[in-house]
Amino acid sequence: MTRDRLADAADSLERAASAADGDARDRLSDQSEQFETLADADRGPDHGKLARHEHVLNEIADDAGGEVADHVEDALESIHAFRETLEGV
């Protein structure tokens, strides 16, 4: 199932949250939970919703750097792979 990529993103974001601290940890945990929900939802997300998540994740990765950014990059790769399966943009 193509939404396995969203579950992979959730896992990567949980690892990023574990490596982060403070506000970044909270934001990444929230993003991970949202991707778990998206992976299990009856209807998958559209390009716009995913683009908003990507923007937030890039911002967090830029601020945190290091291991956190590496895990976020893994999540973004999974998100991009999922987006390739969507019609539109």
Distance CA 64, CA 72 (A): 10
Strand, helix or coil at 1? coil
Query: Domain limits of the chain?
Result: 4-83
Distance CA 16, CA 73 (A): 10
Listed residue (75, 39, 78) closest to 56, CA to CA = 75
Residue 87's pLDDT band, with cuts at 50, 70 and 90, is confident
Q: What is the mean pLDDT of the chain?
A: 94
pLDDT digits (tens, 9 = 90+) for 36-79: 999 999 888 999 999 999 999 999 999 999 999 999 999 999 99
Which of 20-24, 43-47, 84-88 has maximum average pLDDT?
20-24
pLDDT of residue 88: 78
CA dihedral 37, 12, 9, 22 (to 10 degrees): 60
